[in-house]
Amino acid sequence: PFAIIGELAALDALPRSASVITLEQSEFLRIPGPSFLEAARAKPELAVILVRHLSEILRGANERLRTISMYEADGQAVRGLFLFSQHREERTTEVVLTGCPRIVQIAQMLGCRRETVSTAIAELEKGNYLKTVRAGNSLQQVTLTKKAVNKYLKGLHPPFP
C-alpha cells in the first residue's frame, strides 16, 4: 500500500520523528525536503493530500492518547487491537478482527510491557469480552463481543443495541 513517510521532517526541517520497518518487499521514493515543499506549492492537489494525511496522523495520535489516558490495561488492549488490526468484520453482535498486531507490538504502541497486554487479554477472555484464535504468540483472529464494544469502544464504534 501507498504511504507517506518523513513528511514532518520535510515540512519543518527537523530530524525524522519515526522509522519504518516493512513486512514485505517495498519500494521507496526519496524526495528532499525543499523539493517536496516546492511540489506542494506548485500542485495544490498535492498539498490537499498532505493536509488530509497529516489530519489522519493527528486523529490517530489523539485516539492513542485518549486510550492511554482514559483506560486501564484491559481497555487499552481492546482499543489497541481494534485500532491496529488490518481488517474488521462487523457482525450483528460482535466485531471480528484479523491481521491483528502481535502482543508485543500493542505493548510498544501503548507504552507498556508485553506481559501487561498478555495478562489483560487473558482477563478479557475470562470475562467474555473477547475470544482469540492464536498461532503461537500471534493473534490470528480476535472476536470482540457486544459487551467489549459497548464498554471499551465508545466513540470508535456505534454501540450495539
Taking 80 as the threshold, does the pLDDT of residue 16 lie above it?
no
Partners of 130 in beta bridges: 144
Residue-level pLDDT at 68: 63
Separation CA 117–CA 107 (nearest Å): 6
Tell me the per-residue pLDDT of 23-38, one tens digit each, with 9 for 90 and over: 788 888 888 889 988 9
Taking 80 as the threshold, does the pLDDT of residue 63 lie above it?
no
Tell me the per-residue pLDDT of 128-152, one tens digit each, with 9 for 90 and over: 999 999 988 789 999 999 999 988 8
Burial 69-96 (b: 16+ CB within 10 A, else e): eebebbbbbbbbbbbbbeeeeeeeebbb
Burial 112-139 (b: 16+ CB within 10 A, else e): beeebbbebbeebeeeebbebeeeeeeb
Separation CA 43–CA 78 (nearest Å): 41
Separation CA 125–CA 41 (nearest Å): 52
Taking residue 54's Cβ as centre, other Cβ atoms within 10 Å add up to 14
